[in-house]
């Protein structure tokens, strides 16, 4: 009884002191607005208070008549960060220079400088936006001269070159047209949908400047598969803008280049244990060397352009819209394991950022945020996905299934992860996350899913690397809602997967030293969510 009275007295005194502090204006409390989802699976968003807002990109410059997407990143009282672009209020200090909408997209009006602010209650973040006097000189429409099957689609990008030699993605501000809409129509965002066989000119116009390319539409493809020999233990695949197929040969320390018809065009020596591969906007090929702890850059002809040190055991690699190269360092310990390294387009180190245990796959979303699958065990931030901002800040860590490896982002901004593990913690599955990291659903696929790719229709392709039983050595095709559509037989221990311009699905068969291509298997091309390189 005495203990109860003592507790009651302490609580009463605490309440009285709180009232006194409030009435006396005792300190300005940080704002309690919480993000749409927590930055860690252990955080309780309702208990967090917003401390500051960072607006990126910082001090950007664009030409008149173009746009710039800004991101607001909130830092909370527990030092976690979260993308809060959708819940802040956006303003431009000088609407005669540039306006900004509710999602943080600014549209330039005239030359000058304006301050872009993101506000949530009393917390404000800001940066400057300069609109230059540069004028648009030319427009390049990519991909150049693609061919697709009837009933499929193709996403085009318009890149403007300005009088000051700068370039900018102007896809959303250009006016799009198709010369023959009976062959294919194009929408206001540059997405063409085919209707019948033939050819049409796809044009992007801004003011009195235009750019165009030819889209060829063929009759619907007939499904069949072909297999081609490559090097020892092929692991990952990327496809360049000419349709050539690049394959890392993990056991042979080579990269093999194939034509779109499977002819070997070259085999190029790289480092020890080449694993991940990506191709940049000018066609150079970037390869992670797992045992060498470095990344190599090759020209489109296979010549070595540079070797750059990264962390321990690099695996996955992706390139963002600015040409920066992001690498997942899967190894543990020194040097810099369990990290992500960011390199500039010239290979200069821009930062190394801690993520979960055993980072494996990596992908970049339309906002420039970087998503990493952490393959390691769940007790040390493994079996999870980490989201980083474009500057490397951790925006969230989200639990998925067991042993996540492959990771890709769909046209809706959802994140899909292949859970390779086979135990009771959701192995042999694919997990779908929302753009804020919330788990939407988990879908069963084949045995030990490893690679993952998404076509423009939103269908998801998964390579199942397990044994020939139940059902390994296969590709699973899922709809955008996760329904099972098809299963395709491939070689032994399939891993890396990519989709080419013609809707063909390529997969690397590790133990067969081959690649298999299923001709005309998709309803669209490989989806790339950021405005950078076309592939992978």
Give the CATH number of the domain where residue 392 resides. Answer: 2.130.10.10
Residues 159 and 279 in one domain: no
Residues 195 and 306 in one domain: no
- % the chain with pLDDT above 90: 63
- Judged against a pLDDT cut of 60, whether residue 355 lies above it is answered with yes
* Three-class SS state of 8: helix
Distance from C-alpha of 181 to C-alpha of 75, rounded to nearest angstrom: 48
pLDDT tens for each residue of 20-69: 333 333 333 334 443 333 333 334 444 689 999 999 999 998 888 888 89
Selected residue with higher pLDDT from 163 and 5:
163
- Judged against a pLDDT cut of 80, whether residue 226 lies above it is answered with yes
Q: Is the peptide bond before 107 cis (omega within 30 degrees of 0)?
A: no
- Residue 8 confidence (pLDDT): 37
pLDDT tens for each residue of 251-290: 999 999 999 999 999 999 999 999 999 999 889 999 999 9
pLDDT band at residue 2 using 50, 70 and 90 as cut-offs:
very low
- Judged against a pLDDT cut of 80, whether residue 106 lies above it is answered with yes
28 domain-assigned:
no
Distance from C-alpha of 342 to C-alpha of 389, rounded to nearest angstrom: 12
Last residue of a domain, which of 132, 161, 181? 132
- Residue 81 confidence (pLDDT): 83
Sign of the CA dihedral with 393 first, then 320, 464, and 466 last: negative
Residues 344 and 481 in one domain: yes
- Judged against a pLDDT cut of 50, whether residue 491 lies above it is answered with yes
- Average pLDDT of every residue of the chain: 85
0.85 exceeded by pTM: no
Average the pLDDT over 73-88 and give the result.
89
534 domain-assigned:
no
- Residue 159 confidence (pLDDT): 93
Residues 146 and 88 in one domain: no
380 DSSP assignment: G
Residues 128 and 143 in one domain: no
Last residue of a domain, which of 203, 218, 233? 218
pLDDT tens for each residue of 437-446: 999 999 999 8
Residues 191 and 229 in one domain: no
* 7-21, 231-245, 326-340, 373-387: range with lowest mean pLDDT: 7-21
Contact 70, 55 (CB under 8 A): yes
Q: How many domains does the chain have?
A: 3
475 domain-assigned:
yes
- Judged against a pLDDT cut of 80, whether residue 131 lies above it is answered with yes
Last residue of a domain, which of 66, 98, 132? 132
Average the pLDDT over 7-13 and give the result.
40
Average the pLDDT over 453-469 and give the result.
84
Helices (H), 130-206: none
7 domain-assigned:
no
58 domain-assigned:
yes
pLDDT band at residue 376 using 50, 70 and 90 as cut-offs:
confident
- Judged against a pLDDT cut of 80, whether residue 197 lies above it is answered with yes
- Residue 378 confidence (pLDDT): 59
- Residue 468 confidence (pLDDT): 52
142 CB-side CA count, 13 A = 16
Which residues does residue 216 pair with via DSSP β-bridges, in sequence order? 147, 199
- Judged against a pLDDT cut of 80, whether residue 524 lies above it is answered with no
11 domain-assigned:
no
- % the chain with pLDDT above 70: 84
- Judged against a pLDDT cut of 60, whether residue 535 lies above it is answered with no
Burial of 214: CB neighbours in 10 Å, binned 0-12, 13-18, 19+: middle
Residues 235 and 166 in one domain: no
Average the pLDDT over 174-178 and give the result.
96
- Judged against a pLDDT cut of 50, whether residue 14 lies above it is answered with no
- Residue 223 confidence (pLDDT): 73
Residues 84 and 194 in one domain: no
Strand 209-218 relative to strand 147-149, pairing: parallel
Buried b (16+ CB within 10 A) or exposed e, 491-524: bebbbbbbbbbbbbbbbbbbebbbbbbbebbbbb
- Judged against a pLDDT cut of 80, whether residue 220 lies above it is answered with no
Residues 292 and 307 in one domain: yes
12 domain-assigned:
no
Residues 99 and 247 in one domain: no
Domain that includes residue 187, residue range: 136-218
- Residue 334 confidence (pLDDT): 60
Residues 128 and 146 in one domain: no
- Judged against a pLDDT cut of 90, whether residue 248 lies above it is answered with yes
CATH of the domain at 64: 2.60.40.1080
Residues 301 and 262 in one domain: yes
6 domain-assigned:
no
pLDDT tens for each residue of 198-219: 999 999 999 899 999 999 998 7
């Amino acid at each position: 009884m005495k203990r109860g009275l003592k507790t009651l007295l302490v609580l009463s005194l605490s309440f009285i002191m709180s009232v006194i502090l409030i009435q006396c204006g005792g300190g300005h409390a940080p704002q309690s607005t919480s993000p749409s989802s927590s930055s860690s699976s252990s955080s309780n968003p309702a208990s967090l208070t917003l401390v500051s807002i960072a607006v990126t990109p910082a001090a950007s410059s664009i030409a008149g008549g173009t746009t710039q997407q800004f991101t607001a990143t909130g830092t909370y009282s527990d030092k976690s960060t979260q993308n809060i672009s959708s819940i802040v209020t956006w303003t431009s200090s000088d609407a005669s220079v540039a306006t900004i909408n509710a999602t943080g997209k600014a549209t330039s009006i005239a030359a000058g400088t304006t301050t872009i602010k993101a506000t949530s209650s009393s917390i404000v973040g800001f940066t400057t936006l300069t609109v230059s006097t540069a004028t648009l000189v030319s427009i390049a429409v990519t991909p150049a001269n693609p061919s697709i099957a009837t009933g499929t689609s193709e996403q085009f990008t318009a890149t403007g070159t300005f009088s000051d030699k700068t370039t900018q993605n102007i896809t959303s501000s250009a006016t799009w047209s198709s010369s023959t809409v009976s062959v294919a129509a194009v929408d206001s965002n540059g997405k063409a949908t085919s209707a019948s066989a033939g050819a049409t000119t796809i044009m992007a116009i801004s003011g009195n400047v235009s750019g165009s390319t030819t889209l060829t539409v063929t009759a619907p493809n007939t499904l069949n598969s072909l297999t081609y020999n490559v090097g020892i233990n092929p692991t990952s695949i990327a496809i360049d803008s000419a349709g050539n197929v690049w394959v890392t040969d993990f056991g042979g320390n080579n990269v093999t280049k194939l034509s779109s018809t499977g002819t070997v065009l070259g085999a190029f020596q790289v480092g020890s244990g080449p694993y991940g591969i990506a191709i940049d906007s000018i066609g150079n090929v970037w390869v992670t060397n797992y045992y060498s702890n470095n990344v190599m850059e090759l020209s489109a002809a296979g010549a070595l352009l540079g070797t750059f040190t990264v962390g321990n055991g690099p695996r996955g690699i992706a390139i963002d819209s600015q040409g920066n190269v992001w690498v997942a360092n899967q190894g543990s310990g020194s040097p810099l394991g369990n990290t992500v390294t960011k390199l500039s387009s010239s290979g200069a180190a821009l930062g190394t950022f801690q993520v979960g245990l055993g980072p494996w796959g990596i992908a970049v979303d339309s906002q420039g945020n970087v998503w990493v699958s952490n393959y390691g065990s769940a007790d040390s931030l493994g079996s999870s996905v980490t989201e980083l901002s474009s500057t490397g800040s951790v925006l969230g860590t989200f639990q998925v299934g067991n042993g996540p490896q492959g990771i890709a982002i769909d046209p809706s901004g959802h994140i899909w992860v292949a859970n390779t593990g086979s135990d009771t913690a959701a192995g042999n599955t694919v997990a779908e996350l929302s753009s804020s990291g919330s788990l939407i659903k988990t879908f069963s696929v084949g045995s030990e899913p490893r690679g993952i790719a998404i076509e423009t229709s939103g269908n998801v392709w998964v390579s199942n690397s397990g044994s020939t039983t139940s059902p390994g050595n296969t590709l699973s095709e899922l709809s955008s809602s996760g329904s099972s559509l098809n299963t395709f037989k491939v070689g032994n221990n399939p891993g890396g997967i990519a989709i080419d311009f013609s809707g063909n699905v390529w997969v690397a068969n590790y133990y067969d030293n081959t690649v298999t291509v299923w001709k005309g298997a998709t309803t669209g091309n490989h989806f790339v969510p950021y405005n950078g390189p076309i592939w992978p």
